[in-house]
Amino acid sequence: MILNLKEVFLQEGSKKAFEYSFSMSDIDISGVYPFVSPIMVKGEALNRAGLVDVNFDVSFTYNRPCDRCFKDVSRELNYQFNHRLVVSLQGDDNDDYIEVPDYTLDVDNCVQTDIILNLPVKFLCKEDCKGICPKCGKDLNDGECGCQTEEIDPRLEVLKELLK
């Protein structure tokens, strides 16, 4: 969605609300396409002293395998993002503002970038997920597998022999 903010920029105190949805189903994250439902975006642009603040509320269903046990997990995620827009940047303002010289903002691109930067690095089915057994592959959340888990570092095997 391209949001035309010319009226908001030209009149201090003015605001513009927007609400829509778009798809990110073609986005591949680590070999998985986790965005199974449309991204719902609700936001507002507000002119404060010549600067335009844009606030987004974003919600979507995120579906991907647990990073430890590989079970499919579907979770509703909600984020809030805030950005300050200016018509032209001056000096070292690049990190603090988004430049919109033609008064238009590509909301899809902005929201998509924000979502990807804020996704959890490790996605787990539950905080205390035990993962799978490295020997037999059994899901340890369903119970122990009986495999011997004591492994000796092969570099220290020589020391074990000396202690005998």
Q: For 50-104, how does the pLDDT look when each residue is reduced to its tens digit (9 = 90+)?
A: 789 999 999 999 999 999 999 999 999 999 999 999 888 877 667 788 889 899 9
**Threshold 0.75, pTM exceeds:** yes
Regarding whether 111 and 136 lie in a shared domain, the answer is no
pLDDT of residue 93: 62
Give the whole-angstrom CA distance, residue 10 versus residue 30.
43
On whether both 163 and 91 belong to a single domain, the answer is no
Task: Check whether residue 138 and residue 112 sit in a common domain.
Answer: no
101-118 pLDDT per residue, tens = 899 999 999 999 999 999
**Predicted pLDDT at 149:** 67
| 164 has pLDDT over 90 | no
Q: How many domains does the chain have?
A: 2
Q: Which helix (H) or strand (E) segment is 10 a member of?
A: helix 6-10
111 and 46, same structural domain?
yes
Q: Does residue 134 sit in the same domain as residue 158?
A: yes
Indicate if 98 and 147 belong to the same structural domain: no
What is the distance in angstroms between the CA of the first residue and the CA of the last residue of the chain? 72
The answer to whether the CB of 41 falls within 8 A of the CB of 61 is no
Average pLDDT over residues 36-57: 93
Domain shared by 22 and 97, yes or no: yes
Q: Are residues 78 and 145 in the same domain?
A: no
Q: Within this chain, do residues 71 and 30 fall inside the same structural domain, yes or no?
A: yes
The one-character DSSP state at 38 is P
Question: CA 83 → CA 78, 104, 149, 152, distances in Å?
Answer: 17, 14, 50, 52
Q: For residues 120 and 66, give the distance between their C-alpha atoms in angstroms, rounded to a whole number.
A: 12
Domain that includes residue 115, residue range: 2-129
pLDDT tens, position by position, 144-154: 888 876 667 77
* Per-residue pLDDT at 88: 84
